[in-house]
Chains A and B, each alone.
Chain A
């Protein structure tokens, strides 16, 4: 009962944050509501017994990645976005279609996916068990992701660095 209550409370915070991300017009407000979503998702992970995933969610996602987002928003001094009117057909067909589709999916999930339930501590996910799995079974994917991260870092540095020689030439053309 307590689990269901906690799930409902933090799930509601999650959905409210996600909807607020859509409603807000200033990117910094969207970023803050995304942080609320990520933090309440960490609580959901804790409820599922995934302690290490919850910790990593807070440290990496809500910490590092969102700092990157907020830093970029402030660096570029992003203001309120201006809305452009969408097509009327998309609004008239899209919103009812999305509602019907999501209700169908939710109904099918609740009806057909069995009565399996998840309880706290059903699956202990301590760091040493995950490390065993990560460094034995998933060693090759782990190494490949480290290469991916390295390439991403180099790409980010190359993209964000200012080219001093190419810039005056581009100004002359424009």
Chain B
């Protein structure tokens, strides 16, 4: 038996690590991985609440989050490839113009 708050604290730690990575990382791919980390923290709290309230709809929402994460990863990585093709850098500090 694991108390529910333990899961919530773990999920909060993962989300905080994701936010920190999003803010301090300079490589655009690592920033994307930080976003995935945040989504996973949210997923953990979804599943924990689903088990706590005995409602399976929490688990169904995890699938929707996963679908959104997959779509975001596909489009985001395509954007990264397009940016790299024109700028030849992955550093977000050097990608500071919307103009090509």
Chain A residues with CB under 8 Å of chain B are 3-4, 7, 11, 14-15, 18-19, 21-22, 27, 30-31, 34, 37-38, 41, 44-45, 47-50, 52-53, 56-57, 60-61, 64-65, 68-69, 72-73, 75-76, 78, 81-84, 86, 98, 102, 105-106, 109-110, 113-119, 122-123, 125, 129-130, 133-134, 137-138, 141, 145, 148-149, 151-153, 155-157, 159-160, 162, 170
Contacts and interface: CB of A to CB of B under 8 A. Distances in A.
B80 A76 contact: yes
Interface of B: 1-10, 12-14, 16-18, 20-21, 24-27, 29-30, 32-34, 36-37, 40, 43-44, 47-48, 50-52, 54, 56-57, 59-60, 62-64, 66-75, 77-82, 84-86, 90-91, 93, 100
Contacts of B30: 21, 27, 30, 81
B55 to A, nearest CB: 8
Contacts of B1: 3-4, 117-119
A156 B73 CA distance: 10
A75 B81 contact: yes
B31 to A, nearest CB: 10
A33 to B, nearest CB: 9
Given A117-B2, A152-B74, A14 B10 contact: yes
A123 B54 contact: yes
Given A98-B16, A98-B20, A72 B56 contact: no
Q: Which label, helix, strand, loop or mixed, suits the secondary structure of the A interface?
A: helix
Contacts of B26: 81-84
Contacts of B51: 48-50, 118, 122-123
